[in-house]
């Protein structure tokens, strides 16, 4: 092709890739940057025209207001709901997946039925659920949302954990049975440690699903267990949005997920690819 020596061409290629990569990073990260930066702006900076691209100094006033009004407590609600439901979904789901894999409980049919639950659109069940919850008095309670999130995550957990559990050699479990473990102890002492990385990866995604939920929380909470996603929308108002609050609340609600993802990163990539491969 061109008369350039090979290493020069490789050099151009690499520079080109870096250029594209940088461009992509700017496009994909700029909105996050903007959200972040608004949360630290003063009202004057927010409503300046033309927009202020970076604030003169970082103002924590917007966050201070959220804590003072107690709005920040909704992040705590989200945290409780997401972690507790993840905990239960992981336990129930892993145990069920183990049964499906090892004992072929219910055969293919049960497995297919469970995965089909994953496709259920929330909007199809949210209304009858609302009536059910009103009947039982579960609306606006931790308990109600926790069992809802747990149930809603179960198909995903079962599906993912099935793949990981299939990879555990049967001999390890049999050896433990002979060595003196009960069935439950085998689960606890062999299956869980063997499926550790899968458990982490699955747990992170389960947590994020619950964390991100909006529709269920919108319908099934009032004031007590309002999640942060619902709280963010409370600041929307026709033409005059509470911009500072939207931004600060969003950042508050994003930080826990960032931290989780950062800590769990090495499990995640495996989790995504595994989950995708095993479907």
Q: Give the shortest CB-191-to-other proteins separation in angstroms.
A: 11
Which helix (H) or strand (E) segment holds residue 116: the answer is: helix 107-118
Tokens coding 154: 């179960």
39 contacts 245 by C-beta, under 8 angstroms: no
Least distance in angstroms from the C-beta of 5 to other proteins: 20
Which DSSP category does 158 fall into?
H
* CB of 65 or CB of 219, closer to other proteins: 219
Least distance (Å) between residue 259 CB and other proteins? 11
Nearer to other proteins, 65 or 257 (CB): 257
List the one residue out of 127, 142, 133 whose CA is nearest residue 226: 142
Q: How far is the CB of 106 from other proteins (least distance, A)?
A: 7
Count of beta carbons in the 10 Å neighbourhood of residue 173: 20
Both tokens of residue 168? Answer: 């555990």
| Neighbour count for residue 193 (Cβ, 10 Å) | 11
Nearest distance from C-beta of residue 95 to other proteins, angstroms: 5
Residues 6+ apart with CB under 8 A from 106: 100
Q: What distance in Å separates the CA atoms of residue 61 and residue 130, rounded to the nearest whole number?
A: 37
- Establish whether the linkage from the previous residue to 72 is cis, with ω within 30° of 0: no
Closest distance to other proteins from the beta carbon of 150 (Å) = 6
Report CA-CA distances (Å) from 94 to 18, 148, 155, 163, 271: 42, 17, 10, 11, 15
Residue whose CB is less far from other proteins, 14 or 58: 14
Nearer to other proteins, 8 or 196 (CB): 196
Distances from the Cα of 28 to the Cα of 21, 31, 34, 37, angstroms:
10, 7, 11, 15
Report the residue number, 67 or 188, with the smaller CB distance to other proteins: 188
- Return the number of the residue (58 or 105) whose C-beta is nearest other proteins: 105
Token pair 């994909």 in the structure block, residue: 28
Q: How far is the CB of 49 from other proteins (least distance, A)?
A: 6
Q: Which is nearer to other proteins, 65 or 197 (CB)?
A: 197
């Amino acid at each position: 092709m061109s008369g350039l020596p090979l290493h020069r061409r490789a050099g151009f290629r690499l520079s080109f890739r870096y250029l594209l990569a940088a461009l992509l990073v700017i496009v994909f990260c700029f909105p996050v940057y903007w959200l972040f930066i608004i949360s630290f702006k003063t009202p004057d900076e927010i409503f300046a025209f033309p927009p202020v691209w970076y604030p003169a100094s970082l103002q924590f006033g917007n966050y201070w207001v959220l804590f003072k009004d107690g709005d920040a407590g909704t992040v705590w609600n989200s945290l409780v709901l997401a972690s507790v439901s993840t905990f239960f979904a992981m336990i129930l789901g892993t145990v069920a997946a183990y049964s499906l894999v090892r004992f072929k409980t219910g055969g293919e049919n049960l497995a297919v039925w469970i995965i089909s639950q994953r496709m259920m659109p929330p909007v199809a069940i949210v209304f009858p659920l609302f009536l059910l919850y009103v009947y039982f008095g579960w609306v606006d309670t931790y308990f109600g949302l926790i069992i809802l999130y747990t149930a809603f995550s179960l198909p995903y957990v079962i599906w993912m954990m099935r793949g990981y559990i299939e990879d555990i050699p049967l001999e390890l479990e049999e050896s433990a049975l002979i060595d003196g473990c009960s069935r439950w102890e085998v689960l606890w002492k062999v299956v869980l440690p063997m499926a550790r990385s899968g458990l982490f990866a699955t747990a992170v995604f389960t947590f994020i699903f619950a964390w991100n939920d909006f529709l269920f929380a919108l319908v099934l909470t009032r004031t007590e267990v309002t999640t942060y996603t619902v709280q963010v929308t409370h600041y929307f108002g026709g033409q005059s949005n509470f911009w500072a609050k939207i931004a600060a609340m969003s950042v508050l609600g994003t930080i826990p997920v960032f931290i989780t993802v950062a800590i769990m990163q090495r499990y995640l990539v495996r989790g995504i690819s595994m989950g995708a491969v095993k479907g």
